[in-house]
Structure 1
């Protein structure tokens, strides 16, 4: 309203520039809009010089001057001038606070207020000011507040002050500055910086790409990992670090010690088996064996002791080391003698023998081997095979792969080399299936050994990563050709720029297409050659002759166009239908991509079953089950399924579903509890708002006889508009009157009902139990059962009252959560609508206000509806009561 008024007044003033009333009205509108630029202040000054008394404009003139003074003040401080007297700063803050209570949307005043809080040193209020500016969608905050923030950091950023500054940097989106500041605090011994620094590290470093962790960060990262990560994530990182040859033994030992303390003996034993044996490791292993004996698990105790004996025969180790030293010295002497007599190939073999008798690689000896290998490679593969095995035993997998591949170059039929390479690739891919270079290397190995179908499977996966796409597609074209799939071979050659070898391959394709009278494909083969190598053989002449033939087979419509990336993913099923946008993520079953549905003009998510699962009947059944069941449910709060195709052919099974443009409930909860265990009331109401929608979705699902069985924060998505969407119907149960349980336990143990754990009959009340676990976790920061034998606790142990962890929870809400978590289904809410009614009444008593949404939820008779949140009127008057995100929460005084 005010913006339209401003436009009208400006238009009127252009035709009557001397009209005092128009000037005054426009100046007042500028002020109410929070505009304090040079144009506004000139207009205010002109009006005041004509009219004199005008309280609103006089106040605005004062505030505008104050805003400009704060800008000048921070620039002076940045240049080294001393700060003003604290009382002067406080007086200015009081004036700005008074003004902001009446004009809470004034961006310029908030910037000035925040600058002064930074200069004053009240970083808590400064951060709240920045959060308000972010909600007002203010731009370029780093530049507006940068000088004041930098000056405050120079005054001292140790301890809690440094943490506050880091949080401010994070709010401004300056992640690297925050990380550097927290690293210094943590390295200086301020442990409280650890949790926030670890949260940043988790965003920066993914276990899917562990190589991105800089070497200088690894020690600090693993210390934080041991202090703050859960067991599963810690073990995942340590396993991958071990595969990459990182020196993390001391962290593995500390982690194993923690596991032993918590009684997780099997996991501790596995960790220590990946750790170099020393006295401390031996001590920990003996503790594990002793614990197993105390548990009467004699077999496991014996296995641990046998492992200790096999790896700790000290006398034998000493003797073996002596023998190795003698062999090493002898081999080096023989190598030097061969080298002196001009026989570098023989010298190389003896140097390799010497290195393989070293407990750890000697850099000088390895450098000598590499130089000799470049000058004179051996004639047999066996020495290089031993070198590859040596590095594999040391867990230096990149070097092991390199030397085994060199052995294969010398003897491509050597079965032992091929077997070792396959075994090594399988081990590495099992630990991390998404390393593109490994997929490409394994594809090369299968191609080299003429196993075309396996080569095709691996190379198709490798081609999914941009950095490997060219090399993978080039080799994939050849594999398709060797496998007799010449049309697919041609499709792959279209994706690369042909080199000389490719041209020879394309020419063979041309000849085969000509034999089949496939004139068009023959022409395309020649055209690909001619684009880069027009002088290759007699391509130009042949292409001219082929075009001149005008065969009748050329009639008809052209081949439908298609996105080559989509054709790579799902073949001809993508032609004319989907265009590729980006990769969203991956899970155990498949990879999810963001694609554009051309036919329906919308962005969708496409989940494609992993190629490795295409031959698994169980995987196909679960994938088909998810698609069919979810597609049968039509509800606002359930992710829509638009299309699906299930096939045991590689790359042909996919589900096309609604694209959700927001985070999961898990991400929202992690964000809330990342820095504090405090939960403001508006966060609680927001969770209730989402929970009411979740009940709606479950009621619709249960009404169709569908029990989800895996309700957890990870499977609840939230759109940008605050709409809940349930996903992942892969393990649903269809209710039938004659159902007899199989005893199979499906789901996530942390969220499973007692009847799921015991393999009993499940119905809608099983999902109610899972909702109770979910509410408990998202409102307290932790699930009721999270350590030890969780399945046992789900059946036999009563949860503690959630108010013990979060006293801010209403008593009625805590009672409702505990009712959801009753062990007997008859004691819980009997359906989702009963639970929704209870949550709706609580939400109504709390005001029904959603903090993160532009909407306010009002509950009437247990049924929520949405209306627009209140806004200030065009006169500048504030609405009655605090609106969403009002000044009440900012503690201006």
Structure 2
């Protein structure tokens, strides 16, 4: 048995011997185990005892399958485990005193390592054995001064020597760390700078209190938050401001265009801090700039106030909605009018009209105050303020709307528009001012006529004598002179004037007054035969003219009872000329009591009748004489309404409405006598020039609004506003014709299938035959202005009625790009299909147009 055990133990002794030799090796590497394993295997297989072991294995185990493989695996596993244990024990690791039996072992290991050239290892072992001087020496000789410095710092607690050593070898980072450990932060910061460690350097400098240099390092490395923190502790406010501004922009850009609500205040605070430091540095411009970037307009405005940039500050306060603060700034800057104006605008936005009015007037903004008064219906006050504000034209228009034509006349006179002033004084009935203005404009005839009416005959004579022969009123002036001479007993002068007229105007129905006065003059000159002859010829034309029949009888009896007449022939009075109307002779047109209107020529015709230029013989002025369609005279409804409507329309007295002087029936035909307007029909004007300039169009629009506002206020609706019913005078005044005629004719045609009006201009409700009110004029006004500015009506082809009811109009700006957008919107609102969507009064349109004129002017 002993022999068997001896044989079995032989392979294991071989492995043990190999393991002992492996342990004795000085520095096994990680590759040693594998090399050793294959060497051991080779030696085992070549040993003579292995064969005996295999034989014994077979004997004891018997015929077990794979028994030799099991033995080989066992033999291989055992040495492998032994080799792993040896490697684990011999692996390189720090040797501590706990792992060594004594310092002697450390010193022995250190010497061995130094002898083998591993100086750093030797230094480690000397350091472990607390031989620090030798450790430092080995580290330095091993070119590891950093380890040497650590010995000074950590083992010997001598940071000065550590720092000196680090600096000697240019190990600035190590020196910095040593300084930090020693609490010398400023010095550490400088060493970090040399080590190119700016962030660490900045942190140390900040800890050491060198905020300026720390801030610069932070700023240079894009650490704007830390930079602003440091600069904020220094007197260099400009750098602090720049840092905060950079930090603000960095944060702001991080959110792109959408800033979370919870972050908005913090970001705004950064902008405020930047502005604060800019302000502290005395640099207000960038402070204002960053506040504006942050949308902090009130803060920027306050800084602008400090810079005395009042205009910009006020603008920013206003944009920010701080009107009262803006007003305070203006007041403090010595601008009380601007302050009052801003307060007025503020109160307007608050709906406090009365307060706004007070401040507008205090500010001297009389035009804005006037607009506001006008919008509230206080037209008289509005007119006074327009006048005070220098807008005499608007003042006059407003006075007219307020029913104050005399004040309107004064406004026109103040702006030098004497023509309109005369018209206004005529409506006011101020004959004193009229005569004064007529003389200023050298209208001597009208001045003389008024002087004559007022009984100032000497002044009347002086005026009539100034009427030139080329003046169309020269004959009438001569007649009036004769009348005055006759009245004042200056018979020779009167006879001279009458005889001059007789040579030019033979006796006719339109000058019976002249010949009547001549006959009276002959009587007073004691020339009864001449007087009798003239009376006789007057009776031949008009048997019931004044008291001619009685005078003629008296003279005839006187002549027959007296001696023969004086030698000489009767004066020649000329043929009996009659007015020609329509190409043939006709009785003079007039009313009971004598002929009054002399028809001169036809000047137009249309659906409302034929218009003639005529002369009012009683007043000596030209008029427009319109004869209405003849088929109406047989219509009972028309006859019933005509006189009533004519009287109502005659009450309309407005500078932009053609005045109606008279109405009646003559020879079975109904007529209306109107103011004669010298100018062009707007429809004809558009035919020649296609469209009217924008400024003139706005002027026409504005005047039409005033005319309609006045008429609608009198409960009169036109119903047929169109370019064909408008006259445009040389003095650029629009005149609206045919007010109310559409209503009269429509009522006369009740029961027919047609609707009175012109389809191109009719409102949807008028097209449908529904009841209409003043808003139908608003629609027609929109069409008219549309045509005036574009040269065409909104709907000119196809089923016009259908389009008026259903189709939206093309915006006028699409047809004329010069039309301002605001004016485009006004016109389209007038053309709304639903009356409730249109302007509810012409006054509303007028006010918007005045605002547009001011913006463009």
Is the TM value for this pair above 0.5? no
| Structure number with larger C-alpha Rg | 2
Higher RCO (C-alpha 8 Å, min separation 6): 1
